[in-house]
Structure 1
Amino acid sequence: MARTREFDIDQAVDRAMDVFWRRGYAETSLQDLLQELSIGSGSFYAAFGSKEKLYIRSLDRYASLQASDLEKAIDGTTEIRPAVRKVLTSLIETDLADPTRGCLVGNASTQCGDHPAAADRVNAAIRQVESFLAGALEQAQARGEISSDKDPRELARFLTAFIQGIRVIGRARVGREFAEDALSTAMRALD
């Protein structure tokens, strides 16, 4: 008779996500995950299949949370510039407060060369941010906030690249002045 699962899968994925975020994929052992999740290897394999599959689920969860936060900050806003500035400032403040974490998607992008499924998830997460920003910028352009000679998709790609770059820079501990100067320049792209 099969045993009943005695742990919450979603909570386990959240906890695993935190371990991968802190340690990275390669530096996280199966034993680290078993200890953090307080489960045995049989339960782990039955629930997740492998460390790599759990990593993929963790990346998906992180991307979903980040997309939701971005939507909450920008969706339905009447002015795009303050909303974008608020999002970017929040990321900078997060990295200044804890520069060791960075962005799980950004961290994964530098670690997933040997893991095509992880690279696919990173690409999908980046494209999701780009797509959302492009839609918001198109709406802002229709309202007259952004010049008609600007391409919302190009701006979205620039901002998406900026977001990933500022998260990496945050891990390098370059400091507030550097990050704020970069933010000022990024915001001028919307002028």
Structure 2
Amino acid sequence: MARTKEFDPDAALQSALELFWRRGYEATSIADLVEHLGIGRQSIYATFGNKHELYLKAMDRYSERRDPLLLAELSQPGPALPVVRAAVRRFASEAASPESRLNGCLVTNTAAELAPHDPAAARRVESSWEHFETLLHSALARARAQGELPEDRDPRALARMLLVLLQGIRIVGKASSDPARVRDAAEQALTLLD
């Protein structure tokens, strides 16, 4: 007879996500996960697989929670350019906040730590970036169609520039004690939308 799980796998996954997000993949050991999740090593393996599989599931959870928020933010009806500007400023503000300095962005952290040598992590990073770029492109194309963005501006190129800038802002925000760096960079980038 199979034993009933004595923990909530959904809550454990969320807890693992928070630990990986705060500490990174390499700095988080199975012993750390056992202690943080409050469940045994065998329960972790039986439910989530090894540490790498758990990390990938945590990344998926992160995207599942963040992506709908980005979609809602960037696909609001009405003028599109103010929505894009607000999203860029929000990213800069988050990157400059004390909490973000501790954690950063899980996707950006994974891009720096694992993507160069971990194909599964790299696929998730690329998927997240493609999704964000598509949302930005769609909003910027709408802005150009509505006359908010000059006709000579390329919505795809602008979306890519903003994606790269915002990922850089996440890195600099995590490492810098000067919040003006990220805010000034964001405001300078927004002048390209004028």
Q: Structures share a fold, TM > 0.5?
A: yes
Letter in 2 for 1:110: A
Map of 2:38 onto structure 1 = 38
**Counterparts in 2 of 1:143-154, with a 5 A limit?**
143-154=146-157
Name the aligned partner's letter for residue 178 of structure 1. Answer: R
Task: Give ranges in structure 1 of 5+ residues lacking alignment.
Answer: none
- Listed one character per residue, the Cα deviations across residues 75-104 of structure 1 (whole Å, up to 9, x for unaligned) are 224223322222222222223222121111
Percent of aligned positions with the same letter in both sequences?
40
Does 1:128 pair with 2:128? Answer: no
Corresponding residue of 1:160 = 163
1:103 and 2:105 are equivalent in the alignment: yes
- Structure 1 window deviating more from structure 2 (87-96 vs 103-112): it is 87-96
- Structure 1 CA distance for aligned equivalents of residues 60 and 51 of structure 2: 14
Aligned to 1:28: 28
How far apart, CA to CA, are the structure 2 residues paired with 1:163 and 1:64?
19
The amino acid across from 1:64 in the alignment is E
Q: Does 1:170 align with 2:173?
A: yes
Task: Report the more deviating stretch, 66-75 or 20-29.
Answer: 66-75
What is the root-mean-square deviation of aligned Cα atoms in Å? Answer: 1.5
Give the TM-score taking structure 2 as reference length: 0.91
**Cα displacement (A) at 1:11:** 1.8
Query: Partner letter of residue 184 of structure 2?
Result: D
Moved more, 154-163 or 167-176: 167-176
Q: Is the 8 A contact 1:13 1:58 kept in 2?
A: yes
- 35-44 vs 79-88, which moves further: 79-88
The alignment of Structure 1 onto Structure 2 pairs a total of residues equal to: 191
TM-score (structure 1 length as normaliser): 0.92
> Map of 1:86-97 to 2, 5 A cutoff?
86-97=86-97
Matches of 1:9 and 1:141, distance apart in 2: 45
Counterpart-to-counterpart distance in 2, 1:148 and 1:96 = 33
Alpha-carbon distance, 1:174 to partner: 4.8
- Asked if the contact 1:77–1:83 (Cα under 8 Å) also holds between the matched residues in 2, the reply is no
Is residue 2:76 matched to residue 1:73? Answer: no
Bigger shift: 27-36 or 137-146?
Answer: 137-146
SS in 2 for 1:125: helix
Structure 2, unpaired ranges of 5+: none
